[in-house]
Structure 1
Amino acid sequence: MLNNHVFRMLLGTFLVWGALFYSSIASTVAIWNRSETFAHCFIILPICLYLIRQKWPLLKSAYIKPNYWLLLPVLGTLIVWTFGHLAGILVLEQLATFVMLPFMIWCVLGNQVARLMAFALAFWMFSVPVGEFLIPHLQELTADITVWSLQLTGIPVYREGLYIAIPGGLFEVAVACSGIRYLIASFTLGTLYAYITYQSKTKRVVFVIFSILLPLLANGIRAYGIVMIAHLSDMKYATGVDHLIYGWLFFGVVIFIMFSVGNIWAEPARVYKAEVTASRELRAPKLSLVTLGSLSLMAMATFSYARVMSDVVSDITYSPGQLVDTSIEVSNESWLPLFQNPSKTFLGRAQNFDVYIAYYDRNVQGQELINAENKLYNFTKWSIVNSHNEANYRVLELTNFAGDSRILAYTFVTEGITSPSSMKVKLYQAVQALFGIPQAGYALIVSREGERDENMTQALNTFFNSDLAQYLEE
């Protein structure tokens, strides 16, 4: 039977963590529920419980001694949580939330229990829904492998951005074809398999690396296979939803191959036996309760501070509409950005550019200037061919399925900083939020049909370096 003190303190710590961070946990579970990419996160907790159950014979005799040095990383994690919560950086808030549980267990139960549960506590971090920032890079990699494979096959191929053209038809490496689901699932399963199958740390590390590289290569081969099936069948097969079905069947084969290869060097499973220890310090459970209570007070103080800072509303008023003539309609609406819940939008023309401005008078969850769901252009109709940075704005060269070209340039403007770097602006707003300074700002996006040339560059410089600068000085 599992030591009652260890079991009770583990359960108590988990319940306290769940109660304290309920809102952050709920937002995380909501992502698991709506995103197939992170549906596997629902089984992380049962897996962690299974891993802990394997160590029960050792945990029976584990010595409970709170480690007060862990109060420092706990405090640091609370600061990160506050930073993420106030800045609206949901992934940072969720990461801090799920990091907090292992730290709390380590702090409350001590080094010996934490060491026995080390892998389970580390594997717990797969619960955090992170990784979608890799999608654009994975799309590029998939397109590279596909084009290279088609060239080896001798099929004429032309690529522009994420569009791949062969004599039989035109293909796009869409988000669903990036392989992000395969990568995250393979990495998660590979890490668990390596821990269960091997005792050698070297073998475990090598297999985890293998579980990352294999789906990257396999997804490129899958995309190439889809194009080949479509080509050889005169575009009758693998051009609709069926190519997704083929993809998942292919992924199942890849996982089978990965486990089959890993099984070649499998090692006998370790058998855990109870260890007999000297007399236990009777005050340890009481000290653990005091420690857990202290952690709860620290967390509640942090939440109170975050609530007060969240109530700060900006009294700064921008009039970015002066930058655009809203009486003139844009020449083409197919590129228009997709921003979530802006306080106000402005759409019109300026300097022969289509202009779109999304203004936010605050920076709260669901109403943020910088958010992963905000899109600078309609990504369902346009694809990036090239991009480059200028002094205070960024230029994107776009193309669509029909082969049309379009230039798009953008920057973000807030009180104190103007930059096309979403990370820089987000961090700046986060620091403002941490000190209770209200935030307001807007995204300024201009676009024009055609390819980048000297005249286009000069017009963009005039707009961003002259017109915008003059407006900001007023």
Structure 2
Amino acid sequence: MRLEPAWRWPLLALAAAWACLFGLYWGTAVSIVAIWERSDTFAHAYVVPPIAAWLVWTKRAQLATMKPRPDLRWLAALIPAGALWLVGSLVASNAATQFGFAFLLLASVPLILGSQVGNFLSFPLVFLLFAVPFGDFLTPLLMERTADFTVMALRATGVPVYREGLHFIIPSGAWSVIEACSGIRYLLASVMVGTLFGYLNYQSMKKRLLFMGVAVLTPLIANWLRAYMIVMIGHLSGNELATGVDHIVYGWVFFGLVMIVMFTIGMRWADPDPLPASGVAPGADLPSAAAAPLLAGVALAAGLMALPVAWLAKATQPMPAVPPLTAPALQGWTWQAEPLSDWRPGYRAPTAQLSGQFRRDGAEPVGFYVAYYRQQSQASKLVSSANGLAADGDKHWIPTGSVSRVDVMAGTAPIQVVRGELRAEALGELRARRLRAWQTFWADGGAYVDGWKVTALNALARLRGQHDDAAVLILYADKGVNGAEDEALQRFVAENWPALESWMRSMQAGGHP
């Protein structure tokens, strides 16, 4: 199809705006593709841009009848998109920077080509958001629900189960729900394909939304059934089948069959294709775009796109190095640099860390761990899905269940901590050592349990040109001597929290703890 003259300059202007965008945010664009490459969870994202381009191509006849012209009102949409990218960069959040980049990309289309063209291409443009690798934060929750269903189904079919967290044993052996069992890959792929299926086969928004709901529920339920069947096949075959590679192969075969059934059923309610449209009437008052408005649109867009990058450069001035952490002085307690156990919390690449224990005659020893972060980045940040009480790949220390929040007395006022429990040795050894751990974050002079609050405080500090120092404080004790209600940890916190607060405040930028 020959390109209409009215489209030549607008498309060149859009290409110029996108070239400016990719030039300024190249690192963010590369980070998106890098996640596609290293994570099977987002392997489906490779097909999203080609599908979006194909959807635009199918609309070429209608687009040819339109007369694009810039709509400078869309400049306002670049401001929140750029702000999202800036905040994400300041707090080292891939999701925020990548969505900010995607929104800048999408907003540039109606900005340069006009709202009429943008509205007409709204689905292909929004569909591009599936290319942003987002959703892996659901993995722990999905793993928990998969374990819940599998254990429930095993017991319902007469198989005795002993469960601790995501690990359980049945008479034929031990099983664990790992990330590959969460179903996150099935879920994200199903939602993407289900959204496309609904758009192509249904005309009413009600049907499309209903099918999207089915596309969410179906992979969840299918994954639960898959996990149960894998365990049962292994159990009934004496662990000869459904283990190793077979585990993954059976899972994808089952998921594929479920998707085929879902789409086959969905086609029963498909709407007939609409009659071929002769074109979308542009209206008599839509002249061809002039060069001056196009140049103005590209120039203003480039300026707004460059503003977050410039602000980030100003807000990321080098900070002084962190001095080695030294233990706080607690009256009546003696510090020992040797940890209480061989357990190590799973906090990656801290700027500095401190690990040891406090002892006092007549009291149980209390383990003490601090991971301290300054000038945080993707490689070194406090709040991350990869950080937690249990280190990835630790086969010796196993979390025994979900963590919980509890209120504890700290001096004269209560604070909240996240409480967890870990268990050592093999799962079948019921007398293995157990640890009780209390965790809290420290940022902006206060203690918090919500990671998003710490992230928000760090972002505000960086926007003001201040430091983003933050830390995690973990206290732990042997559960066998800690008491049913964590008496040892409670006494330690109640007695020493004012001193710990003073010590943590000294860990701000420029301080010497």
TM-score class normalised by the smaller sequence = over 0.9
Query: 1:243 is aligned with what amino acid?
Result: H
Secondary structure, aligned partner of 2:416: coil
The within-5 A match list for 1:94-113 is 94-113=98-117
2:410 matches 1:394: no
CA contact (8 A) 2:67 2:288 kept: no
Q: Percent identity?
A: 31
Determine the C-alpha separation between the residues in 2 that align with 1:109 and 1:318: 56
Of 188, 191, 213, 2:192 maps to 188
Gapped regions of structure 2 (runs ≥ 5): 360-364, 408-414, 504-513
After superposition, the Cα gap between the structure-2 partners of 1:273 and 1:17, relative to the gap in structure 1 and judged at 3 Å, is farther
Q: Counterpart of 2:506?
A: none
Q: Counterpart of 1:354?
A: 367
CA contact (8 A) 2:146 2:182 kept: yes
Gapped regions of structure 1 (runs ≥ 5): none
Query: 2:421 is aligned with what amino acid?
Result: E
Deviation string, structure 1 residues 48-73 (Cα, Å, up to 9, x no partner): 10011111111112232333332222
After superposition, the Cα gap between the structure-2 partners of 1:238 and 1:282, relative to the gap in structure 1 and judged at 3 Å, is closer
Secondary structure, aligned partner of 1:370: coil
Of 277, 294, 314, 1:308 maps to 314
Deviation string, structure 1 residues 170-194 (Cα, Å, up to 9, x no partner): 2111111000000001111111111
Of 41, 59, 82, 2:63 maps to 59
Determine the C-alpha separation between the residues in 2 that align with 1:361 and 1:280: 54
Secondary structure, aligned partner of 2:327: helix
1:272 to partner: Cα distance: 4.3
Moved more, 276-285 or 114-123: 276-285
Secondary structure, aligned partner of 1:393: strand
Of 385, 399, 408, 1:383 maps to 399
1:295 to partner: Cα distance: 1.1
2:379 matches 1:366: yes
Determine the C-alpha separation between the residues in 2 that align with 1:188 and 1:52: 17
Determine the C-alpha separation between the residues in 2 that align with 1:41 and 1:428: 32
Q: Counterpart of 1:255?
A: 259
CA contact (8 A) 1:2 1:57 kept: no
Secondary structure, aligned partner of 1:369: coil
Q: Counterpart of 2:304?
A: 298
Query: 1:339 is aligned with what amino acid?
Result: Y
Q: Counterpart of 1:436?
A: 465
After superposition, the Cα gap between the structure-2 partners of 1:291 and 1:452, relative to the gap in structure 1 and judged at 3 Å, is farther
Of 286, 302, 322, 2:328 maps to 322
Determine the C-alpha separation between the residues in 1 that align with 2:50 and 2:239: 44
After superposition, the Cα gap between the structure-2 partners of 1:182 and 1:285, relative to the gap in structure 1 and judged at 3 Å, is farther
Query: 1:366 is aligned with what amino acid?
Result: A
Determine the C-alpha separation between the residues in 2 that align with 1:286 and 1:303: 26
After superposition, the Cα gap between the structure-2 partners of 1:274 and 1:415, relative to the gap in structure 1 and judged at 3 Å, is closer
2:127 matches 1:123: yes
Determine the C-alpha separation between the residues in 2 that align with 1:285 and 1:194: 39
Tell me the C-alpha RMSD between the 2 structures: 2.4
Determine the C-alpha separation between the residues in 1 that align with 2:366 and 2:243: 36
The number of equivalent residue pairs is: 473
Deviation string, structure 1 residues 303-328 (Cα, Å, up to 9, x no partner): 11111101242578684533797744
1:369 to partner: Cα distance: 2.0
Secondary structure, aligned partner of 2:403: strand
Of 435, 449, 455, 1:406 maps to 435
Give the TM-score normalised by structure 2. 0.86
Give the TM-score normalised by structure 1. 0.93
After superposition, the Cα gap between the structure-2 partners of 1:441 and 1:136, relative to the gap in structure 1 and judged at 3 Å, is same
CA contact (8 A) 1:78 1:299 kept: yes
CA contact (8 A) 2:68 2:289 kept: no
Q: Counterpart of 2:410?
A: none
Of 8, 27, 33, 1:29 maps to 33
Secondary structure, aligned partner of 2:62: helix
Determine the C-alpha separation between the residues in 2 that align with 1:387 and 1:375: 10
Query: 1:265 is aligned with what amino acid?
Result: W
2:354 matches 1:336: no
The within-5 A match list for 1:210-229 is 210-229=214-233
2:118 matches 1:114: yes
